[in-house]
Amino acid sequence: MPILEPNSFEFISRSPDQTRRIGIRLGSSLQAGDVVCLSGELGAGKTTLVQGIAEGWGSPDAVTSPTFVLVNNYRKMGGLEMNHFDAYRVQNALEAEDLDLTGMIMDGPFLVEWAERVQEVLPQENLWIKMKYLADEQRGLMFVPHGRRFESMVEKLRNDVMKSF
């Protein structure tokens, strides 16, 4: 039995800067309709990764955790938007569905922290990133693609990372 899920990619980040840099690489591949699901305990580095993703996607906006506002929007040239949803305070998937997730997904890339809380209302094709606190400066990231587009995205990410880190 394999330890890793098929087509997945595991990466150990040794610093917040390295977590941001892998996010930048991932963000450069995102387009409207892409759903990136982030799971992991508090302090796992989800917001740090999103900062890199937004930068790589091309947004000049400051990235903060949307825990209390639920959704942050980041813009980029051409009027495109990336939506960053935090499901930590959402009671259930139906409450999340009332926020018009479908509309947010169509606007641009859609990033969701605490995605396991609303998984049943998210598209089946997505990129799931499982994050884990390992030590003060180390985080474990497991990229698990669901769907062909995300499989090729993870393969590109794996190749890029192997060349540069």
pTM of the full structure: 0.89
Residue 1, pLDDT score: 38
Residue 105, pLDDT score: 82
What CATH class has 9-164?
A: alpha beta
CA separation, residue 65 to residues 50, 97, 138, 163 (Å): 9, 20, 20, 31
Name the band, by pLDDT with cuts 50, 70 and 90, for residue 165. low
3-state SS assignment for residue 165: coil
Q: Domain extents for the chain?
A: 9-164
Q: Which tens digits make up the pLDDT trace of 37-93?
A: 999 998 899 999 999 999 999 998 888 887 767 888 898 877 788 999 988 888 777
Return the higher-pLDDT residue of 5 and 12.
Answer: 12
Residue 101 in this model has a pLDDT that exceeds 60: yes
Report the distance separating Cα 135 and Cα 45, nearest Å.
11
What's the whole-number mean pLDDT along residues 105-111?
88
What's the whole-number mean pLDDT along residues 21-35?
94
> Helices 16-27 and 46-57: crossing angle, nearest 10°?
40
